[in-house]
Amino acid sequence: MITAFGAPFDLGPGYLNTPSVGVPPRPVVDAVRAWTDDWATGRISAPAMDDPVDATRTAFASLTGFPTTGVAVGSVVSGLLGPVAASFPAGTRVLTAAGEFTSVSFPFAACGHDVTEAPVAAVGARAAEYEVVAVSVAQSADGALVDLDALRASGAFVVLDATQSLGWLPTDLSWADVVVAGGYKWLLSPRGCAWGAFSDRALDRVTPSAAGWYAGEDRWSAVYGLPLRLAGTARRLDVSPAWSSFAGAAVALPWLAGLDRAAVHAHGVGLAARLRAGLGLPETGSAIVSIPGDPQRLLDAGVRCAARAGATRVGFHLYNTDTDVDLVLDALR
């Protein structure tokens, strides 16, 4: 067991695979188990699940800088981005990063847009040439960071996937048009929950094409019949939530939002920087490290990691320590 930032994690050394799947603190696990026990004994109340879902909405707003009224809940990133991509006429010029995670790029390509890939280091400089920029804050394959200041100044409609950055990179993203993130990586939540934050101009243009009863102004009077009566806020883009997932997220996100974010950033990025220095890799300012070569030597040494884009990917979060860095260095020396 590891205690990190005041919370217990049922982990030993060597787990460096947060960019694939984050490990929840014990209170998150306890909340999901309690929900499952209630389900098994017929004690689930559907209306009672509204409060946990809305607690995650408030926490996501805090983590991104958006107002709570601008946040919608979903299940996956691509599901939140589909209506955004569909809101632009076919052939819209869209810029994305070369090798971008396809949950970001596929919705725009599938809607018939003219999608151009550029090296992530060049995306900020080229953003003003395009109507839409859809890119991850931190690239999934190697943790490379996009130039947010350049995107902000570009005037383009900016769509950001913060799945690989939110939870360790403290930055105000409220200037962007759309910010989405999945919960099961750095946000330490069960898979099946995701969030999207929308600017006013995004809400003005995006049709809630996946709207159901949960998108209603009054959810529990919108379960049957017309006329259409959607929420006046970003809740009109909600999809009906996976309750068991949000039971855990309702513990994880408020806890993360209440931490000293500068300390969280310094912890993860500091460990990653120490590893890069030990391996002779250039500093990038990211909590994700891409190590040239196959991951087998690390796997044999008990390090949980992933093969991505022809390299080995590791990531450092709350529960990682210098011991994890030493495990990698000893295995590769």
Provide the pLDDT for residue 202. Answer: 98
User: What average pLDDT does this structure show over 239-244?
Assistant: 97
Range list for CATH 3.40.640.10 in the chain: 47-258
For 2-25+260-332, the fitting CATH number among 3.40.50.300, 3.40.50.2020, 3.40.50.2300, 3.90.1150.10 is: 3.90.1150.10
Range list for CATH 3.90.1150.10 in the chain: 2-25+260-332
Provide the pLDDT for residue 1. Answer: 87
What CATH class does 47-258 carry? alpha beta
Nearest to 81 by CA among 176, 179, 184: 179
Provide the pLDDT for residue 164. Answer: 98
- Across the chain, mean pLDDT equals 97
| Residue 64 CB-half CA count within 13 A | 33
User: What average pLDDT does this structure show over 18-47?
Assistant: 98
- Model's pTM, two decimal places? 0.97
Rounded CA-CA distance 254/25 in Å is: 13
pLDDT digits (tens, 9 = 90+) for 140-158: 999 999 999 999 999 999 9
Strand order in the sheet with 306-308: 288-292, 311-315, 306-308
User: What average pLDDT does this structure show over 114-125?
Assistant: 98
User: What average pLDDT does this structure show over 288-311?
Assistant: 97
Q: What percent of the chain has pLDDT over 70?
A: 100
Q: How confident is the model at residue 333 (pLDDT cuts 50, 70, 90)?
A: confident
Q: Collapsing DSSP states into helix, strand and coil, what is residue 117? A: strand
Nearest to 237 by CA among 281, 196, 297, 290: 196
DSSP code for 76: -
Rg from Cα positions in the chain: 20
Question: How many Å from the N-terminal Cα to the C-terminal Cα in the chain?
Answer: 27
pLDDT digits (tens, 9 = 90+) for 38-97: 999 999 999 999 999 999 999 999 999 999 999 999 999 999 999 999 999 999 999 999
User: What average pLDDT does this structure show over 92-121?
Assistant: 98
